[in-house]
Structures are given as C-alpha cells and as structure tokens.
C-alpha cells in the first residue's frame, strides 16, 4: 500500500538498543527483561509487571492464574479482537458476549448486568481502540458479585481513567506490543498485577511452570513457553522512553483527521476527547452512514484500496463468527456498528498531506455510493 494501515516507529536509538543486546551473552531471561518489567510497572503504576510473548498470552495466563476453568462464564465484548474470546475458550470456560455503548464502543455497566448469571466468574473489560472504559461502576459490579476483572489494555498503553493509567485498576491489566501498537517489541506483551501470588504464578507459567524456588529443570506448575526475548525487551525499553512523544504525535494525527473529516458529514468521527481520562490513539476508526451495510463498506474499502490506501473493517463481531455461533445472543448495538466501522491509515509518521488525501478519497467514495443508493442515503443523518 502507498499509504499503509499502520507502520511501526523505529528510531536509530531503538536499533542501537537491539544491537547492543546481540553483543552480550544474554538473549533470554536476562537483565533487559528485568529492566523492562520494572520500567513498565513504574509507568503504569502497578507493583508487578511480567513480560510475555504476546498480549494473547497475557489474557490466557491471567485467566489461568485467577483460577478460571471448566464451565465458568466470563463476560466479554463481541466487538473486540478475537483473542479475548479464544483465551476464555482455551480455559474450557464459556465466553458470554455483552453489548457495547454506541459512542465509546466499550462494555457498559448495564450490558454487563444483562450478561450476569450465577456462573459468572470474571469480566474482561476491553479499552476499545484506546478509549478508556468507564471502570468505576464496572468495578463496583465486580465487588458486589465477587467477580475478577481483567483489563484488556492491549490497545490502550498510556490511556488514563480518572488520572490513573488503565490496566492498573483491575485484578490484572494486559498490554500488547504488536507492531501496530503505539510502542512495539515486534511480538510481545505485558501483564501488570497487584497481588504478589498472582504475579509469581504468571511469572512461573510463562517459563514452563518453573517457580522461583525451583532448580533449572524443576517445574512446579504445568506452564508454557511464553517468554519475551532480550532483544524484544531492549526494543520495548527504548520505545517506552519515548512514549510521551509517541502518544503526543498520535494524538496530533487523530486531531488532524478529526478536523479534515468535518467536510464530510456522512462520515461519523470517533470521539476526540474522553471526559473521564485520556485516549491512547491506537487507531482512527470512523463509521459510515447508518443506512450503509456491510456490502457498502466493502465497496468503500475496494475504492480506497485501488488508490493504494490501506483500510480495514474493525471489528467483525466475534459472536457471529463460525466458532462462536453456539454462544451467540442478540447484540443490536454491536451488530449495527460493526457493519459500518472502518479503520483508516494511522501511525506516528503519517504526513498531513496523506491524511487529507485519505479523507478526500474516503469522502468521495462514500458520496459516490450514497448517490447510487438514492435519497435515503444521501440525506442520512450520521446518528446511531
């Protein structure tokens, strides 16, 4: 793509940090791992951080460490990356899909209450596209019903809720450092934890179940190889040092998009501010007019792709995918919005001229399809 959907921000300092590790004998479970974990815990404001091979690994180990297992129900959003449901299924637990708020695209206290049953054991709260979920009432529900809360902050590193970083509120916070995220380790993730016992358990599970007191080939738990290599930790540490600059630049890109799209009233922009905190701009996801269908969106994607502009339908509802249809339930907001959401090119180095080009191409595509469809589409109010 001439203008790709995403692109990592790798500096010369990042490269130097990785090369420096390659000149040492420590390529796994070395000093950079400890340094990265300590720095990240300090940044988020949690006592413990454990680096892992991915955010998905973080979700899976979090559920295991919290004792979620056979037949337990875990409330999750359907409008999310499929890993939130897969992690539940890997524990032989049952994902219970809840609907989302039409504006923030996050779970709400009301939709969580609708999904509660006597078998509910946990809630996975996703901070969708880096917009902080309304945690205070959700945590209140968790306390009243004795539920565990996992914050999926994989898209929200640096986002804030009530002057505190997201990920630091629930029992466990999970982060991802995939290349399309604000900071990257290539592949990689991190969990932040308050309970020292849970922290020790996850630390052991990532390394074949070896507890701190075990010898090299002794294994107390049935674990996994979810380790994060030293070169990845060095890259993450270098990126973390630049996170304020990175998040600021991404916010600038989001504001440029927001302003440029004023000229195209058929396109609904995402909220640009969060009254209760700060958005981490992971992606810029717009909504096409309410009368548009999945087929109309596919045509928009085709028109943009022909011009070398990367875009993607974020997210297909999980409960409508073949694997999860047996757990499907009516989620009207999710289904309405998911058929019209479109992620635009978004990354730190995106140029102002490219933003205007993307918006112009998108606006023309939407107008073209709306005109072909007739008056109901041309005059469509962009209101859910």
Q: Which residues are catalytic?
A: 181
For residue 358, give Cα distances in angstroms to 290, 292, 312, 344. Answer: 21, 20, 13, 8
d(Cα 259, Cα 363) in Å, to the nearest integer? 13
**183 in Cβ contact with 157 (< 8 Å):** yes
Neighbours of 365 (CB within 10 A): 23
What are phi and psi for residue 198, nearest 5 degrees? Answer: -65, -40
The three-class DSSP label of residue 309 is strand
Interacting residues of 165 by C-beta distance below 8 A, sequence separation 6+: 43, 44, 45, 158, 159
Q: Which two tokens stand for residue 30?
A: 């070395």
**172 in Cβ contact with 151 (< 8 Å):** yes
Helices (H), the chain: 12-22, 31-44, 55-65, 83-90, 109-115, 135-145, 196-205, 230-241, 243-260, 294-306, 332-338, 352-373, 375-378
Q: Which two tokens stand for residue 192?
A: 């932040």
Interacting residues of 270 by C-beta distance below 8 A, sequence separation 6+: 129, 131, 284, 285, 286
CA triple 201-204-205, angle to 5 deg: 85
d(Cα 281, Cα 263) in Å, to the nearest integer? 22
d(Cα 5, Cα 339) in Å, to the nearest integer? 19
The reply to whether omega before 315 is within 30° of 0 (cis) is yes
């Amino acid at each position: 793509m001439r203008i790709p959907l995403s692109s990592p921000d790798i500096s010369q300092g990042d490269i130097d940090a990785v090369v420096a590790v390659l000149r040492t004998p420590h390529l796994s479970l070395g000093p950079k791992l400890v340094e990265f974990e300590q720095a990240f815990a300090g940044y988020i404001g949690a006592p413990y951080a454990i680096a892992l091979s991915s955010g998905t690994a973080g979700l899976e180990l979090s559920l295991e460490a919290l004792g979620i297992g056979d037949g337990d129900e875990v409330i999750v959003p359907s409008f999310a990356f499929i890993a939130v449901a897969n992690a539940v299924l890997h524990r032989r637990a049952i994902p219970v899909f809840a609907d989302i708020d039409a504006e923030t695209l996050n779970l709400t206290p009301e939709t969580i209450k609708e999904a509660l049953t006597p078998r509910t054991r946990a809630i996975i709260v996703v901070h969708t596209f880096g917009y902080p979920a309304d945690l205070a009432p959700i945590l209140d529900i968790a306390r009243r019903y004795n539920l565990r809360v996992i914050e999926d902050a994989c898209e929200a590193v640096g986002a804030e809720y009530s002057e505190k970083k997201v990920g630091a509120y629930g029992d466990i916070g999970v982060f991802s450092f995939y290349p399309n995220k604000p900071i990257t380790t290539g592949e990689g993730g991190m969990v932040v934890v308050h309970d020292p016992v849970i922290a020790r358990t996850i630390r052991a599970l990532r390394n074949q179940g070896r507890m701190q007191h075990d010898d090299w080939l002794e294994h107390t738990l049935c674990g996994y190889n979810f380790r994060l290599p030293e070169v990845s930790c060095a890259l993450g540490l270098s990126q973390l040092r630049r996170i304020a600059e990175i998040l600021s630049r991404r916010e600038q890109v989001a504001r440029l998009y927001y302003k440029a799209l004023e000229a195209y009233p058929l396109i609904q922009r995402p909220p640009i501010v969060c009254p209760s905190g700060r958005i981490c701009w992971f992606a810029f996801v717009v909504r096409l007019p309410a009368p548009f269908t999945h087929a109309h969106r596919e045509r928009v994607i085709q028109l943009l792709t022909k011009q070398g502009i990367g875009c993607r339908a974020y997210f297909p509802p999980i409960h409508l995918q073949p694997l999860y249809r047996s757990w499907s339930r009516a989620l009207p907001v999710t289904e309405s919005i998911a058929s019209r959401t479109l992620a635009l090119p978004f990354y730190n180095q995106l140029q102002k001229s490219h933003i205007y080009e993307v918006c112009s191409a998108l606006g023309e595509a939407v107008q073209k399809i709306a005109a072909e469809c007739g008056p109901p589409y041309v005059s469509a109010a962009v209101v859910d």
